[in-house]
């Protein structure tokens, strides 16, 4: 099939990925957009400017990582908007889409358009070794800086998957809440990793009552509660933990609503917020949901590349032969996760520098060196 090139230019990150579907190999690179200290994000005009500067660098780096020219393409894919909902639009995605259209015009290869949300779902499936889920309905959460959505995901021959929003935050999004509370505590933007690290030092126990409404949630009140805690002298780590436990309570309530409405369909958690270890542990224990490694949870272009490969494969991916291909890709990504675990054991630590000292880099996976 050759390489499938995927690009995603979100409001947070410039991402590019190359996927060799036949070998089951993924290479990806990404770079956060620069945000000035003390600010909570970027204006769209600034995001477009930074993507225009960073995307060529990402493609050059990707070619080096893959060890082959990106001209050896079978197809190009890009995210063109946030969601499949009517009217969904953000100018930042035009940078990746424009580059994809240019490459397709020069190489004569097809170009496929997907949404940022579809990419998150597909990346999480790939990272979790669950690409076979693409062939039947399942439930998914996409929880990130701009989204707190519960989704009914169904196969679609034109768009590979269709993500129907069946629950969401009716005000503040989970990632926005985390960034705002992180800002209160003087943490860098985006605040997710630093807030989690801080919360792990807390000693309190919190069981906030979520604000739920017919399967949707409200999170804006949590910001005020966190500010009140801080003003009353609560330690920063306790405020951080309360914030995350409030997000957990909302997602748990929404998940329970999904279970009531849709029964025992497979359940996937995707998006940058879902890479949080505290949330992952609690949700796995209660609902047995499926999670991806953090590298496939945060913004990335891997899911876009995977969707491009499935789209290029046509209807065969939804036949018996396609099932076999999806199974093989899922099995490969699961094997890569096993290699990562083996590497950590060999390093004797979960510390990234220690892991890298004992491994060679292959694509996006750490493979133990004999």
How confident is residue 327, by pLDDT bands cut at 50, 70 and 90? very low
- What was the pLDDT predicted at 359? 33
- How many angstroms from the chain centroid is the CA of residue 58? 18
Q: φ, ψ for residue 205 (rounded to 5)?
A: -125, 125
Mean pLDDT of the residues in the chain: 87
- What was the pLDDT predicted at 17? 98
- What was the pLDDT predicted at 148? 97
Query: What's the helix, strand, coil split of the chain in %, to 5?
Result: 50, 20, 30
Where do the domains of the chain lie?
Answer: 3-136+294-334, 168-291
User: Is pLDDT of 361 > 80?
Assistant: no
- How many angstroms from the chain centroid is the CA of residue 308? 17
Classify each residue of 41-70 as buried b or exposed e, where b means 16 or more C-beta atoms within 10 Å of its C-beta: bbeeebbbebbeebbeebbeebbebbeeeb
- What was the pLDDT predicted at 341? 55
Distance CA 252, CA 209 (A): 11
- What was the pLDDT predicted at 323? 42
pLDDT in tens, 56-112: 999 999 999 999 888 789 999 999 999 999 999 999 999 999 999 999 999 999 999
| 15 close to 65: Cβ distance less than 8 angstroms | no
- The label of the residue with tokens 């994000």 reads 41
> Omega of the bond prior to 311 within 30 degrees of 0, cis?
no
How confident is residue 362, by pLDDT bands cut at 50, 70 and 90? very low
Classify each residue of 115-136 as buried b or exposed e, where b means 16 or more C-beta atoms within 10 Å of its C-beta: bbbbbbbbbbbbbbbbbbbbbe
User: Is pLDDT of 250 > 80?
Assistant: yes
Fold entry, domain 168-291: Nucleotidyltransferase; domain 5 (3.30.420)
112 three-class SS: strand
Give me the helices (H) in 263-319, please.
Answer: 277-287, 302-313
Q: φ, ψ for residue 276 (rounded to 5)?
A: -65, 125
> Would you say the CATH fold of 168-291 matches that of 3-136+294-334?
yes
How confident is residue 38, by pLDDT bands cut at 50, 70 and 90? confident
- What was the pLDDT predicted at 72? 82
- What was the pLDDT predicted at 319? 40
pTM, 2 dp: 0.85
pLDDT in tens, 123-151: 999 999 999 999 999 999 999 988 999 99
Per this entry, what is the length of the chain? 370
Region 3-136+294-334: CATH code: 3.30.420.40
How confident is residue 305, by pLDDT bands cut at 50, 70 and 90? very high
pLDDT in tens, 171-220: 999 999 999 999 999 999 999 999 999 999 999 999 999 999 999 999 99
């Amino acid at each position: 099939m050759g390489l499938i090139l995927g690009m995603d230019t979100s409001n947070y990150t410039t991402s590019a990925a190359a996927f060799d579907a036949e070998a089951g190999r993924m290479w990806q690179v990404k770079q956060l957009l620069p945000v000035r200290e003390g600010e909570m994000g970027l204006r769209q005009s600034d995001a477009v400017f930074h993507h225009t500067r960073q995307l060529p660098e990402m493609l050059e780096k990707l070619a080096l990582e893959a060890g082959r020219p990106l001209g050896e393409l079978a197809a190009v894919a890009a995210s063109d908007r946030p969601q499949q909902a009517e009217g969904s639009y953000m100018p930042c995605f035009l940078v990746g889409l424009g580059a994809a259209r240019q490459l397709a015009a020069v190489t004569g290869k097809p170009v496929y358009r997907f949404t940022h949300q579809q990419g998150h779902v597909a990346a999480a499936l790939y990272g979790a070794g669950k690409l076979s889920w693409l062939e039947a309905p399942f439930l998914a959460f996409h929880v990130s800086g701009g989204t707190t959505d519960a989704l009914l995901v169904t196969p679609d021959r034109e768009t590979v998957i269709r993500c129907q929003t069946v629950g969401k935050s009716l005000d503040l999004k989970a990632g926005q809440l985390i960034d705002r509370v992180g800002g209160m505590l003087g943490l860098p933007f985006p605040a997710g990793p630093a807030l989690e690290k801080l919360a792990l030092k807390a000693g309190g126990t919190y069981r906030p009552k979520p604000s739920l409404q017919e399967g949707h949630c409200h999170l804006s009140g949590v910001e005020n509660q966190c500010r009140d805690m801080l003003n009353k002298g609560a330690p920063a780590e306790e405020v951080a933990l309360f914030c995350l436990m409030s997000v957990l309570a909302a997602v748990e309530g929404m998940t329970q609503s999904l279970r009531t409405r849709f029964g025992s369909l497979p359940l996937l958690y995707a998006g940058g917020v879902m890479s949080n270890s505290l949330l992952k542990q609690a949700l796995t224990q209660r609902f047995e949901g499926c999670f991806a490694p953090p590298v496939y949870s945060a913004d990335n272009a891997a899911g876009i590349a995977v969707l491009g490969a499935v789209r290029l494969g046509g209807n065969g991916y939804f036949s018996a032969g396609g099932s076999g291909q999806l199974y093989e890709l899922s099995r490969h990504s699961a094997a890569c996760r096993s290699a990562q675990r083996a590497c950590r054991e060999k390093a004797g630590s979960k510390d990234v520098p220690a892991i890298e000292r004992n491994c060679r880099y292959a694509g996006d996976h750490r493979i133990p060196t004999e």
